[in-house]
Amino acid sequence: MELHHYLLNLRERWRSGLVAALIVVLAVAGLTAMQSPVYRGTSQVFVQARTGNGVEDLNSGASFASQQIMSYAELATTPYVLDEVIGDLGLEITPARLAKDVKVTVEEGSFLIRISASANDPQMAARIADSTAENLQEAVASLSPASTANSVELRIVADAVVPETPTSPNILRNALLGIVLALLAGIGTALVRSLLNTRVRTIEDLQGSTDRIVLGAIPASRSGEDASRILVQNPYSVASESYRELRTNLQFVKLVENRRSVLVTSSLPGEGKSTATVNLAHVLAMSGARVLLVDADLRSPSVHRILGLEGDAGLTTVLIGQAQLEEVTQFAGIDGLDVITSGAIPPNPSELLGSPAMEDLLEEASGRYDVVLVDAPPLLAVTDAAVLSQAVGGVLVVAQSDRVRRAEFERALAKLETVDANVVGLVLNRVRGVSGSVYAYGSPEARAVLAAEAEDREAAARAEAEGGASDPSSDGSHPHADEAGPEAHAGPGAASPRRPGRRKAVRRPVSGRQAEIDRDRELESLGGPHGEH
């Protein structure tokens, strides 16, 4: 896994990481608070050799003291010394237990023994250190009687000072340790949860190990926003731009046998396929195409509820022969967009969707509209979408980020592969954490600049048209006009061969400023504001 994947996982799982970090911090703080304060007192004893006055005696005594000093340090923590300390101080403790609280150290090359004692009472810590030093002095004196050859005596050179602050717990050290452990716990928890999560979250998860085509990624709507009306409520939002990008990418897909219908489905219920279909229909109609939206979810229809339309008569009414296509077509409130709701829920939805009547309806609709969008049920829930995929030009699969599992998504695609469906692309829906805001080109000053540039382009286009009028080849009878085969009309954004002269459903990618002009025109078609955003 690359670094940006780790960072993305941390960003997505920061809440669980934060919880783990807080738990560690609270645990360290609790343990610190539960620890009893420990004080330490230290006394110092100097080891001195008693020798004669000669240089040889001095050297011999120093060498003897150096050899014996480590033995004296070990002697300080033996019962021979500590029994006397316990008796002097009246302690109710064993020598072995007291030895754990007494620490004796000797620096290399030094004749100084440092005796440190720890206790919960600062005065007791100093008294234990001093008593140990005194009893060690007496023990060495009794074990090393004076002689003319070599003898060693111990002198207490520094009594223990009563400590004012405890040595344990070390609050600063524990705080630093807690911070480090909290960071490790937070990062580790976030990464482990992310690695163990088998849900589809990113475009890479959609693509898998194959080279699947992802046509778009739609960010999750913010609180208070209606996802199905995002293009109207906030046309300059990141979500609105994502649908425009999806519209642009959709024009490059290749449909089967030049069928101008695209089926939109998902793996599971609740992944937002109907909302995505409605918004895609909106943005296609805004570009000048005539779009028909068909609600083919005959089990749990929702398009009529999203758009506020009548749902009693619709697709099922036509399929059973009780109405014609134009009789159940409803205007969606946006120029160029018509809707056929599902109608009454039938007892045999799969049979109706796979019937010749459904194929005839789609063929008739393709002759009247530039694009036909079909909202179908989820793939894993029922077989309706797989059956209907045989009658459309292509299938668009919507996957909600962090909802559908990768195994479920793979099973859904396998169902389409089994029936040899033409999957034209994938859409990652409701992606969290997409940053962005409204476009800066919405100011009045920027609009004035864009309007001036638009006038310049229109003038240049008129001049080019006038110059081409004298060209004999510009009379509309292009010598190769009839040679364009199905490839020339592969995408749903291309002009219909049955309706010459209509605008294309999806324009080719344009420059950033030209895109702003297109957005303004779309706002005009919606009756939206033209002032500052």
Each residue's pLDDT tens digit, 371-426: 999 999 999 999 999 999 999 999 999 999 988 999 999 999 999 999 999 999 99
| Rounded Cα–Cα distance for residues 11 and 117 (Å) | 50
| DSSP alpha helix (H) spans, 35-99 | 55-75, 79-89, 95-99
| Rounded Cα–Cα distance for residues 430 and 427 (Å) | 10
Percent of the chain with pLDDT over 70: 75
Q: Is 246 exposed, middle or buried (0-12, 13-18, 19+ CB in 10 A)?
A: buried
| Rounded Cα–Cα distance for residues 263 and 424 (Å) | 10
Phi, psi values for residue 118, rounded to 5°: -110, 140
Q: Which two tokens stand for residue 121?
A: 């009472």
Is beta strand 261-266 parallel, antiparallel or unpaired with respect to 371-375? parallel
Answer whether 274's CB lies under 8 Å from 416's CB: no
Determine the average pLDDT of the residues in 15-38: 88
Closest-CA residue to 292 (of 374, 350, 409, 395): 374
| DSSP alpha helix (H) spans, 369-511 | 384-388, 406-418, 444-468
Answer whether 24's CB lies under 8 Å from 178's CB: yes
| Per-residue confidence (pLDDT) for residue 466, from 0 to 100 | 61
Tell me the β-bridge partners of 341: none
| Rounded Cα–Cα distance for residues 250 and 244 (Å) | 10
| Rounded Cα–Cα distance for residues 47 and 161 (Å) | 21
Lowest mean pLDDT segment, chosen from 282-296, 409-423, 494-508: 494-508
| Rounded Cα–Cα distance for residues 193 and 181 (Å) | 18
Q: Which two tokens stand for residue 181?
A: 């452990």
Q: Report residue 473's pLDDT band, with 50, 70 and 90 as the boundaries.
A: very low
Count CA atoms closer than 13 A to 116's CA, side-chain side.
11
Determine the average pLDDT of the residues in 420-435: 86
| Rounded Cα–Cα distance for residues 52 and 147 (Å) | 11
DSSP 496: P
| Per-residue confidence (pLDDT) for residue 458, from 0 to 100 | 54
CA–CA distances in Å: residue 482 to residues 112, 290, 479, 488:
108, 23, 8, 11
Residue 472: is its pLDDT beyond 50?
no
Q: Which two tokens stand for residue 59?
A: 């050297």
The residue whose two tokens read 């159940």 is 328
375: left (phi over 0), alpha (psi -120 to 50) or beta: beta
DSSP 51: -
- Give residues with Cβ within 8 angstroms of 262, minimum separation 6: 250, 255, 371, 372, 373, 374, 392, 393, 394, 395, 396, 424, 492
Is beta strand 371-375 parallel, antiparallel or unpaired with respect to 337-340? unpaired
Highest mean pLDDT among 177-186, 373-382, 485-494: 373-382
Residue 342: is its pLDDT beyond 90?
yes
Answer whether 492's CB lies under 8 Å from 505's CB: yes
Name the 3-class secondary structure at 484.
Answer: coil
Sign of the C-alpha dihedral computed for residues 160, 166, 172 and 177 taken in this order? positive
Residue 449: is its pLDDT beyond 80?
no
**439 or 456, which is more confident:** 456
